[in-house]
Amino acid sequence: MKKILVPVDFSAYSEYALEVAAILAKRHGAGIVLLHMIGMSDSVLANSEIAEEAEAKYFLKLAKDKIKEFTEREYLKDVHVATIIQNYKDFNEVNEVAHEQNCDLVVMGSHGTSGFSDLFVGSNTEKVVRSSELPVIVIKKPHKDFTINKMVMACDLSKECIPIYEKAEAYAELFSASLEVVYINSAGANFMGHDDVEKRMESFEKEVGEEIKVDFYNHHSVERGILNYCFEKNADLLVIPTHGRKGLAHFVVGSLAENISNHAKMPVMTIKL
């Protein structure tokens, strides 16, 4: 891992993410790219050129002052930090910045009570998660010692989840953590009998080409099943496949991906299919 992108809005939650990124950067010899998106309103941009320029300079100075404060945090000592400030047009641009800067991972903050809000505005963080081609770790509380010993990946054991598993396995190796895979066997159309469960597990292992620890967890709700399983297993990091606009691959039902990220107390890593 060479670079970690951390989008910040200067809230406490984005600072939680920055501190986690600093811990990871120190452990793995990586640098950090701090990204702040000013997000000037249409009303500002509709002003005269003189007024627009003055307003832009004002917000830019504020952003520069705040981002300078962030870079001077004690926990960033001995970490190489680059800063980027720009006005957004579309939050998909975060993905473009990540690629332009050759980043390997995105770490971002969220308070988790109304979507991915507080980092950026409204559903914009959700857009970042869904559009990011890089893995994204969502952080919602302070972590003075961000140690990952056990990772749990929730998926439907379909073939398209194989690349996700391989990426999760690579991160587990990087973090020196164990990795478990769980399939939530929920009531209704997706419920499977014991024989079907065994066949799906064997097929998944065959596709991966190695023996995998796979658990099947029965629960009436996929969302609650994932969270309960992680709690019972004392997991440190939950890995969830994302599917672009569709969110959670096989699990997709409305805002399930957002709900899990909101309700999970542990850090959540999303990896795009």
Per-domain boundaries in the chain: 3-139, 150-272
The helix (run of H) or strand (run of E) holding residue 106 is: strand 105-109
Cα–Cα distance for residue pair 212/52, rounded to 1 Å: 58
* Digit-coded pLDDT (tens) for 82-98: 999 887 656 678 888 99
Structure tokens at 3: 């670079």
CATH number, domain 150-272: 3.40.50.620
* Digit-coded pLDDT (tens) for 170-200: 999 999 999 999 998 886 656 677 677 788 8
- For 153, other C-beta atoms within 10 Å of its C-beta total 26
Cα–Cα distance for residue pair 191/219, rounded to 1 Å: 10
pLDDT of residue 188: 63
Cβ atoms of 264 and 227 within 8 Å: the answer is: yes
Nearest 10 degrees: Cα torsion 97, 170, 77, 117:
50
Spell out the per-residue pLDDT of the chain, length 273, in tens.
999 999 988 888 889 999 999 999 999 999 999 998 876 555 544 555 665 667 667 777 888 888 998 999 999 999 999 999 887 656 678 888 999 999 999 999 887 554 444 444 335 566 777 788 999 998 988 988 899 999 999 988 888 889 999 999 999 999 999 999 999 888 665 667 767 778 888 888 888 888 888 888 988 888 889 999 999 999 999 998 887 554 444 344 335 555 676 667 789 998 987
SS3 119: coil
pLDDT of residue 92: 72
Dihedral sign (CA 222, 123, 262, 130)? positive
Cα–Cα distance for residue pair 86/258, rounded to 1 Å: 26
Helix then strand then coil, % of the chain, to nearest 5 = 45, 20, 35
Structure tokens at 242: 């994302």
* Contact partners, residue 119, CB within 8 Å, separation at least 6: 7, 8, 9, 11, 13, 14, 17, 108, 109, 110, 125
pLDDT of residue 120: 41
**pTM for the whole structure:** 0.85
* The domain defined by 3-139 carries CATH number 3.30.40.230: no
pLDDT of residue 55: 66
